[in-house]
C-alpha cells in the first residue's frame, strides 16, 4: 500500500491506495514522483489487491474531472496513422512521409474541399513525428528535418484555416514505433509543451508501459492537461491495453479522465478488420454502450473509407455502423486523392447528423439473424431513430422482411429516409411489413421519424431544437 501526500490540498493529500503487481512475483520499480507533478511521495508495493485500480481511480476522479466542455458530440477529423503509418523516408517518398508538408496538405484539403463545414475539424499527427532525443530542457521536440518550422508554427497554419491540431504521445518508455515516450516524471512537462504549441487534441498511447504505470499515468496526464488552462481533448488508449472490458476497465470512472478511448485492436485496411471491430463492439455492447455519452466516447478506431481495402458497399457499412455507434469520425486516408464515391460517403450530411446527434446515445445491435442479417438501432433527438440493416452474407443481395413493430417500435405512423440512396419510405405503420434489399457486406441505413415530422437538412452538429428534414 502506498501513502502519497502533498502540501497542495487539491492533490491526493493523505490518501491511501493499493498498487498491484504486474508480475506474479517480485516487485515493480515505481518512479518517485517529482514535485513538478505536484506529488512529493514514493509509492511502495505490497500485495496485489483486486480493487486496486478501481480504488485508485476513485481517488483520482475526486481531483481530476476532465470537464472542460469539449467533445459533446463525437470528434470528427483526420489522422495520419492507418494510411501513412511511420513513413519517415522524405527523400524517396516526400509526398507521403510524416512531415509538416503532409499535415499542411491535409489541412488545405479539409479547409477547401467542404470537410470543415461538415464538422471535420481535427488534423491529428500520430506516431513518428518526434526527434529521437528530447531537448536540453527535457521537452519533446519534432524531428527537425521533417518539421523544420516546428509544431507551434504548424498549429498556427492549421488554426488559420479554422481547424484544430492533434498530436500523439505514449505513456511508456518509448512510443509504439520507438520514439521517446512519456514516463511518469515527464507527464507535466509534456502537457505544458503541447499546450504551449497550441495543440488541441492529444492521443495518448500505451506501448512499453506496465499496468501500474498506465494506472498512474493516464489520470495524471488528464490532470496535467487541465492544469495548462488550454482546452485539449484527451484520447486514451488505456482500455485497449487492459482487454477493453470490466472488471479490468472501469468505464464510469474513465469518463472522468478521458474524452474518448480506444477499446480494441487497431483497425487495418480490410473488411475483415472492420467486421471484427463491429462484432467485438456488438458482442460487448452491454458493457460499452452505457459508458458513452456527451464528452465521453468509445472509439472503434479510424474510418478507412477511400483507401484500398473496402468495396463501396463495405465503405457504406463502416460509415453506417460508426454513425450508429456514436463513434468518432476520424478519417485516415489521402484527402488529396479521394474518389467521388468515398467522398460522397464521408460527406453524407444525414449520416453525419445521425452520428452527431446531441443526445449522444450509442446505438445497439437489436437482432442477429440466422440468415446472417443484423439489425442495429440508435435513438435520436426529436423522437427520431436510426436503423441499420447489415448483411454479413457473401453470396448475393438479400431480401429481408420485417416490420417496425418487430423492431420494438411503438404503435403509430412513421416515415423513413434512406441515408445513402436519398429515397423516402412513407406510410409506414408500426405493423406494416416491409422489405429491404441488402447487398453482401452492405447496409441499408434508415433515418426513421414520426409521420407528423419532416426531414430537414442540417449542418454537421445539429442543435437539440432542430430536426432533419428533406
Which tens digits make up the pLDDT trace of 287-299?
999 999 999 999 9
Q: Which three cell numbers stand for residue 120?
A: 471535420
Distance CA 340, CA 140 (A): 39
DSSP-assigned beta bridge partners for residue 368 = 374
Residue 103 falls within a domain, yes or no?
yes
Map grid coordinates 500520430 to a residue.
126
The cell for 161 is: 484555416
Let me know whether 342 and 372 are in one domain. Answer: no
In a domain, 199, yes or no: yes
- 382 in the same domain as 289: no
Same domain, 259 and 116: yes
Class of residue 24 by CB neighbours under 10 A (exposed 0-12, middle 13-18, buried 19+): exposed
Do 256 and 377 fall into the same domain?
no
Burial 41-78 (b: 16+ CB within 10 A, else e): bebebeeebeebbbbbbebbbebbebebebbebbbbbb
Whether 39 is in a domain gets the answer: no
Question: Do 98 and 153 fall within a single domain?
Answer: yes
For residues 397-423, give the mean pLDDT: 98
pLDDT at 85 over 80: yes
Confidence of residue 345 (pLDDT cuts 50, 70, 90): very high
Q: Is 82 in the same domain as 148?
A: yes
Say which DSSP state 143 is in. -
Same domain, 368 and 351: no
pLDDT at 107: 99
Q: pLDDT tens digits for 112-125?
A: 999 999 999 999 99
Element (H, E) at 345: helix 340-346
Is the pLDDT higher at 301 or at 39? Answer: 301
* Number of structural domains in the chain: 2
| pLDDT of the residue at 455 | 56
Which residue's C-alpha cell is 483507401?
307
Instruction: Say how far apart CA 332 and CA 348 lie, in whole Å.
Output: 17
The string of pLDDT tens digits covering residues 351-364 is: 999 999 999 999 99
Exposed, middle or buried by CB within 10 Å (0-12, 13-18, 19+), for 464? exposed
* Three-state DSSP state, 212: helix
Q: What is the residue-averaged pLDDT of the chain?
A: 88
Helices (H) and strands (E) counted in the chain, each on its own, are: 14, 18
Taking residues 234-240, report their average pLDDT.
Answer: 99
CATH (domain of 414): 2.60.40.1180
Give the domain CATH number at 202.
3.20.20.70
Q: Containing domain of residue 423, as a range?
A: 364-450
Same-domain check for residues 167 and 257: yes
Domain-located, residue 310: yes
- pTM, two decimals, is 0.87
User: If DSSP codes are grouped into helix, strand and coil, which group holds residue 204?
Assistant: strand
If you average pLDDT over residues 305-325, what whole number do you get? 99
Q: Would the pLDDT of 278 be above 90?
A: yes
For residue 41, pLDDT beyond 90: no
The residues that are catalytic are 205, 266
Buried b (16+ CB within 10 A) or exposed e, 332-358: bbbbeebeeebbebbbbbbbbbbbbbb
Pick from 324, 355, 386: which residue ends a domain?
355
The answer as to whether 403 is a domain residue is yes
Asked if the structure places residue 339 within a domain, the reply is yes
Q: What is the pLDDT of residue 464?
A: 32
Nearest Cα neighbor of 259 from 288, 227, 232 is: 232
pLDDT at 456: 52
Asked if residue 332 and residue 387 are part of one domain, the reply reads no
User: DSSP characters for 373-413?
Assistant: EEEEEEE-STT-EEEEEEE--SSS-EEEEEETGGGTPPSSE
- Who contacts 444 (Cβ-Cβ below 8 Å, separation ≥6)? 388, 389, 418, 420, 436, 437, 438
Residue 453 has pLDDT above 80, yes or no: no
Look at residues 355, 377, 393 and tell me which one is the last residue of a structural domain.
355
Q: Which of 355, 389, 417 is the last residue of a domain?
A: 355
Same domain, 346 and 390: no
Give residue 35's pLDDT: 31
pLDDT at residue 452, as a whole number: 80
Q: Which of 65-79, 187-201, 208-222 has the lowest mean pLDDT?
A: 65-79
Same domain, 328 and 369: no
User: Looking at the domain assignment, is residue 52 inside a domain?
Assistant: no
Residue 11 lies in a domain: no
Together in a domain, 275 and 422: no
Amino acid at each position: 500500500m502506498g501513502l502519497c501526500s502533498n502540501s497542495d490540498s487539491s492533490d491526493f493529500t493523505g490518501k491511501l491506495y493499493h498498487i498491484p503487481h504486474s508480475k506474479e512475483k517480485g516487485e515493480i520499480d515505481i518512479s518517485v514522483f517529482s514535485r513538478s507533478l505536484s506529488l512529493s511521495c514514493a509509492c511502495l508495493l505490497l500485495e496485489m489487491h483486486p480493487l486496486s485500480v478501481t480504488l485508485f481511480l476513485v481517488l483520482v476522479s475526486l481531483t481530476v474531472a476532465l470537464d472542460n466542455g469539449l467533445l459533446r458530440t463525437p470528434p470528427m477529423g483526420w489522422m495520419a496513422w492507418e494510411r501513412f503509418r511511420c513513413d519517415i523516408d522524405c527523400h524517396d517518398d516526400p509526398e507521403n512521409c510524416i512531415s509538416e508538408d503532409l499535415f499542411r496538405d491535409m489541412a488545405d484539403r479539409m479547409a477547401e474541399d467542404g470537410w470543415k463545414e461538415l464538422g471535420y475539424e481535427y488534423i491529428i499527427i500520430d506516431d513518428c513525428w518526434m526527434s529521437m532525443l528530447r531537448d536540453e530542457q527535457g521537452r519533446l521536440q519534432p524531428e527537425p528535418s521533417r518539421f523544420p518550422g516546428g509544431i507551434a508554427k504548424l498549429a498556427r497554419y492549421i488554426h488559420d484555416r479554422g481547424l484544430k491540431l492533434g498530436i500523439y504521445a505514449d505513456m511508456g518508455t518509448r512510443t509504439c514505433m520507438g520514439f521517446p515516450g512519456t514516463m511518469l516524471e515527464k507527464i507535466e512537462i509534456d502537457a505544458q509543451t503541447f499546450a504551449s504549441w497550441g495543440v488541441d487534441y492529444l492521443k495518448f498511447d500505451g506501448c512499453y508501459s506496465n499496468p501500474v504505470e498506465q494506472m498512474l499515468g493516464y489520470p495524471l496526464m488528464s490532470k496535467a492537461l487541465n492544469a495548462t488552462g488550454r482546452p485539449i481533448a484527451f484520447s486514451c488508449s488505456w482500455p485497449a491495453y487492459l482487454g477493453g472490458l470490466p472488471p479490468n476497465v472501469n468505464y464510469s470512472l474513465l469518463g472522468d479522465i478521458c474524452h474518448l478511448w480506444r477499446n480494441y485492436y487497431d483497425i487495418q485496411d480490410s473488411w475483415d478488420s472492420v467486421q471484427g471491430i463491429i462484432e467485438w463492439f456488438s458482442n460487448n455492447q452491454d458493457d460499452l454502450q452505457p459508458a458513452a455519452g456527451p464528452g465521453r466516447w468509445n472509439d472503434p478506431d479510424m474510418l478507412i473509407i477511400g483507401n484500398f481495402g473496402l468495396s463501396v458497399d463495405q465503405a457504406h457499412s463502416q460509415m453506417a455502423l460508426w454513425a450508429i455507434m456514436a463513434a468518432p469520425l476520424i478519417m485516415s486516408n489521402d484527402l488529396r486523392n479521394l474518389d467521388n464515391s468515398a467522398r460522397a460517403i464521408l460527406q453524407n450530411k444525414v449520416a453525419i447528423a445521425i452520428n452527431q446527434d446531441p443526445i449522444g446515445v450509442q446505438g445497439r445491435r437489436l437482432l442477429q439473424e440466422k440468415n446472417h442479417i443484423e439489425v442495429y438501432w440508435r435513438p435520436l433527438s426529436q423522437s427520431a431513430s436510426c436503423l441499420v440493416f447489415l448483411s454479413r452474407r457473401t453470396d448475393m443481395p438479400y431480401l429481408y422482411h420485417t416490420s417496425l413493430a418487430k423492431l420494438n417500435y411503438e404503435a403509430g405512423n412513421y416515415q423513413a429516409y434512406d441515408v445513402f440512396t436519398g429515397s423516402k419510405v412513407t406510410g409506414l405503420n408500426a405493423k406494416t411489413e416491409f422489405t429491404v434489399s441488402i447487398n453482401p457486406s452492405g447496409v441499408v441505413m434508415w433515418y426513421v421519424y414520426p409521420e407528423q415530422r419532416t426531414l430537414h437538412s442540417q449542418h454537421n452538429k445539429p442543435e437539440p431544437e432542430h430536426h432533419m428534414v428533406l
